Each structure stands twice: as C-alpha cells, then as structure tokens.
Amino acid sequence: MAYERLQQFGRKIRWGMVGGGFDSLIGECHRMAARVDNAFDLVAGCMSIDPEIAVSSAAKCLVAPARTYTDFRKMAEAESRRPDGVEVVTIATPPNSHMAIAEAFMSHGISVICEKPMTSTVEDALRLQALTDEFGGLFMVTHCYTGYPMVREARALVQAGAIGRVRQIECDFVNGSFLTEEEDRKKRHWRFRPEYMGEEAILGELGAHCYDLAAFVSGRYPVQVSANMTTLTPLRETADDAHVTLRYADGSLGRMWLTFTAAGLDHGLSFRIAGEAGTLSWSQVKPDELKLSRAGTYPELRSPGHPDLMTTAGAYACRLREGHPEGYILAFANLYRDFAETFMANALGEAPHHLAQYPHLESGLETMRFYEAAAASRQHDGNWVAIGTET
C-alpha cells in the first residue's frame, strides 16, 4: 500500500484482536506485521482465554480499558454499537474456535483476518463464505508465506511460462520443533490434543501452509489425495508425521511430507515445482533465494531488491534494496498491506492496486477441503479420496 492510499483514506483502520495475547506464539507477529505500513490502529481486544492475560496484554498494547474484553461475543456486540468501533478483527486463537469468533464479528459487519487453518470443517468454511458474500466485507486467511517476495516472484514466473507447463509439485514442511511429549496430558499443547482438531491436526498446522503455497505458486489444485500418517513421538495422541500424495486433473502427481519430528530441522518449509522447461526451488530458511533451473543451461539464483530484473508482482512485494535481507515479518506485513490497500480502496469506491493480493477466504476453504479428504484417506489406510474442489 502506498502512503498515498493511507493519506487518501485519511486515517488508520480501526483494528481489534481476538487471541494473540502475550501467552500466544503468533500474536506478536500479527502486531509487528500490522505496524509496518502504519495502516492499522489496535483499538480493542479480547486477547486471551485467560482474563488476567487478556487485560495485561491489551494494556501492554495501549488498548483502552473500556475496550478491553474477556469475552469475544461481548466485544463483537459492544464494538458494533460504537460509532468508532473496530472495522477489522484478527483471529489468532486455536483453530477450533475460529468459526464461532469469525461468525460473531461478521454478523456485525466486521471484516476478518483469520489464522489458518480457517475452520474445523468444510461446512463451517462454506458458512463463512456465505456470510462474507452477504455482508460484503473482506476475509483474509494468514497463509503468511505467500507474502515473501521470492514466493510471489515464483508464482509470477510460472504464470509467465518461465518453466513451461507445470508437471510436478512437491512441498514439504519438515519441522523439528516438537520432538517430545509432555507426560501430563493437561500440559500438552493443543496441537497434539485430539479434542481440538482431531488426530489429523497436522494437516491444518503444517499441511494448510504447504497446500496453499503449492497452489499459490503452481496455480493449480489437486483433485485427489492419498495420506499415510503415523505417530512417532512416544505418548503423543495425534499423528505427527504425514506422507501425502496428490493427483491433479491431468494425471500428474504432487507430494507433501509434513512432520513435527525432523530432529535438527528448525522450520523446514520448502517447495520444488517442475514444469516441462524448468524447475523452481525455494526454502523458507533462505527466503531471499529463488532458484530457477532451466533445461540446457546453468541455474539462476534470483533475489529480491532488483525491480528491473524481477517480475512486477515480485518487485511489488520487496521492501528493501538489493543485498538487504527481507524476512518473515515483512512477508507477513505484505499480507496486511495488501489487505489494508483493498479495504481502503473499497471504502473509497476505487479499485485496489492491481498487484495487491492476499489469501482470500477461498484459499482457506480449499485447505479445509484438503484437510477433510486427507483425514478420510488416512482413516482408510491411505486410499485415494476425492478432494471436492470445484475446478
């Protein structure tokens, strides 16, 4: 979003948060991302399930006591009654609560920025789609890795035909952050407690990112999935390792390896997308390096900050000059920037910048279709299951 748009809008967007308090992992990333372009003002929050932490988190963020809440439904009602109530709310709570929170705010006409996985079921995702259509607001799902300059560059290169027709898609999230499990069930993280998102929660925690990223770059969704999953960590009750094969409508195959148990690997998100003429490779631990390997010549290593060499979509996502590393928060901030640009342009009755793009509700809905189909496949010993995407 250009400063001109902010100036034209004349003020920041009145923004609230549900979850994302100082007892959370991801909350501060949202706040940092929202600050980058100066477009959001955090004016209200119900920031934790723990009332004391909800109050102390809001106080730390300078949210007024009168607009600090310990119940998200009361927040939605009270804010919708104020002439200066929140216009957008970020939901950064565990996934099984996203639906109820989104519904509470959207039914009052408040736009939503929602963490992934968007909901617990396809049915809920479809309900949110209908609600969004009804009130005409915006819904973003924070598939945050799509904000990296080199990920947007990869997508634009595929669209421009740089690797020819896409034939193979591989995306891995081989994480090594959760190698042991708590003895005491109550101390286990919700990610590993089946009552939150089922035994297949890994499909939402890691799979949603991979699935969305592969689709974002390649421009295609698969039609069938076969998932084999297992639990490698003693005491754990949910699957923590998944091998997923995907079939596309033209018969080509894709693959994803999702795991929390890759000892020594801190993050582990990467993709390789091969076409008839070349292959694109990217890894989030070196996000400024996009490798474009074309048949018959040496590979090129593309990097951000070169507007004359990059695609316009890739250049639009860069914040810094060449040689200055872009990072996770700036990638996350690109989602917030593009959402703000669209929100403000809509309010002004204008078209948003043609390069502004953020993950719409539909990208969250597609990950839920994948989630349900892959979970069903796992329950049937890895049989192929139709994903149900409308192509």
Q: Which residues of this protein are in contact with ligand NAD, per CB under 6 A?
A: 18-21, 23-27, 46, 48-50, 72, 92-95, 97, 115-116, 142, 144, 190, 205
Distance from the Cα of residue 342 to its chain's centroid: 18
Q: Of the two residues 21 and 287, which places its CB atom closer to ligand NAD in the complex?
A: 21
Q: Of the two residues 49 and 277, which places its CB atom closer to ligand NAD in the complex?
A: 49
Min dist CB 333 to ligand NAD, Å, is: 13
**How far is the C-alpha of 49 from the C-alpha of 340, rounded, in Å?**
27
Beta strand 278-283 pairing with 253-259 = unpaired
| DSSP per-residue codes, 194-231 | HHHH-TTTHIIIIIHHHHHHHHHHH----SEEEEEEE-
Sign of the Cα torsion 114, 120, 122, 126 reads: negative
**How far is the C-alpha of 42 from the C-alpha of 63, rounded, in Å?**
7
Q: Of the two residues 173 and 248, which places its CB atom closer to ligand NAD in the complex?
A: 173
Which of 127, 110, 125 is closest to 76 using CA atoms? 110
Q: What is the amino acid identity at position 183?
A: E
Min dist CB 378 to ligand NAD, Å, is: 19
Min dist CB 42 to ligand NAD, Å, is: 14
**How far is the C-alpha of 281 from the C-alpha of 146, rounded, in Å?**
14
Q: How large is the greatest C-alpha to C-alpha distance in the chain, in angstroms?
A: 65
**How far is the C-alpha of 171 from the C-alpha of 257, rounded, in Å?**
7
Min dist CB 315 to ligand NAD, Å, is: 24
Min dist CB 292 to ligand NAD, Å, is: 26
Q: Of the two residues 166 and 171, which places its CB atom closer to ligand NAD in the complex?
A: 171
Q: Of the two residues 46 and 310, which places its CB atom closer to ligand NAD in the complex?
A: 46
Min dist CB 212 to ligand NAD, Å, is: 10
Min dist CB 71 to ligand NAD, Å, is: 8
| DSSP per-residue codes, 373-389 | HHHHHHHTTT--EE---
3-state secondary structure of 325: coil
**How far is the C-alpha of 335 from the C-alpha of 144, rounded, in Å?**
7
Q: Of the two residues 25 and 263, which places its CB atom closer to ligand NAD in the complex?
A: 25
Q: Of the two residues 284 and 311, which places its CB atom closer to ligand NAD in the complex?
A: 284
